[in-house]
Structure 1
Amino acid sequence: MLLKLVLPLAAALAVFSTPVMATDAIEETMARVIPDAEADSIRETPMAGIYEVRYGTDILYVSGDGRYLIQGNLVDLDTRENLTQAALSGVRADMFAAIGDSELVTYSPNGDTRGVLNIFTDPNCPYCREIHQDLPEYLAAGIKVRYLMFPVLGRDSPEIMDRIWCADDREDAMDRAKEGDKLNDIDGSCATPQDQHMAMGQQLGLRGTPALITESGQQMSGYQEPQAVIERILGSN
């Protein structure tokens, strides 16, 4: 969506062709060009004269003189760090930190929690079932696993997910669903966060399941070897 705005936005920003563009000037211009969305943040980047403008999980870069707009990844060639992805990881981390364990299907380790792994799942997803089989390995490593709904693979997936969330014991219901149980004995008519989870997944650009997001906001798609994920989680803490 934002890609279509590059040319008109660049033209509008050219009005502010002063050596240094103040943040409020950028905000004012972006509000005119994208009136239906308010920037979540506008901040300077390590690159001289370049500002990061963020809309949810969309990031644009605007030159300080108002002449140029850049879409894409900003990379520090000295450190090899992708600054755009680092910024997005922070956004994702904040998104998941705002969701309490009680709102999800949460599996906690018996001992100390050393990290958290959030997983968007679908009951009809075969790779999701493989990840669920790896659950003991994650828990043994001190990783708390939290499931969110993203039922897109089967016609009955939304109903099964609602039944899981409405169950007296969500973890047991999830375990059963991962074994192919349709949970027809559970009334799924309670209020669930399915719409919110779907909206969050779409905001993150998910196209399927499983999707894994670590506590630090790193995002991975598809089945991942548990040891590699565990090392990634513990290495970022």
Structure 2
Amino acid sequence: MSRKAMRRTASIVAATALLAGGLAVGAGTAAAAGSADLGSAGSSDTATPPAEQKPHSATKKTDNISVTKKVVGDGTVAPGQKVTYRTVISVPSGVDRLVNKITDFHPAGFEYVEGSAKINAWNVIGGQKETAVKPTVNAADNSVSVTEPFVGWLTSSIEAKTVTLEVSYLVPSSAKAGTALDSGVTFDVLGFLATQKFNPMGVFVTVRDANLVESVTGGSAELGLGSSEGGTGSAGSAIITDPAGFVADVISGVIKNGS
């Protein structure tokens, strides 16, 4: 047998073993997903019991302005992982408004993820679009602020013009599973005499035990395995929802590299 054929055979054998192990992991994780804490796959007697989850979204109103803040995803995060907050300011009816500053208040100890701040707002050229922004980070009061340097971001009921701030943080590795941490937001409006304050706002992120993938990666949000829209990240979600497909993709890559 040639060296190339031997290497290909070894790759297939290794991949088959990986498939068996991956399916076992997926089955165990899927069984655990029926509980309130989706991240406790393979939990033991020492795992933290899931706490009753508090609201991870809230809407407040001031004058004719509505502001909604939410934790992106299922509202939970593991210690050392990334969590993203999204705040949307709109004008359901009445006169248009210009919002010139938004400040996101996060739980103490959370660390701003550099480059994560984005504003989605209406522009004269291009209409509603998203752009990256460089915020002012204030660790002393646990806040991240963005400012529109001119008159402000237009919010209007006409064509549903809104302004959205999205920002991400790393949760401390020392965060205790089972705790629910509140957050808030403030914003300034052109013509208003005072800053509009909703801090705290009743938007909680609930800390949970790390899931299998997060435990293996040691809480590396940079690898894309932190909490996201699905609550576990792309790789973690793939293992849970389609373990056979996930491992099959790995096998395909192994065989390709071995050929």
Common fold: TM-score over 0.5: no
Q: So what's the TM-score if we normalise by structure 1?
A: 0.24
Q: So what's the TM-score if we normalise by structure 2?
A: 0.23
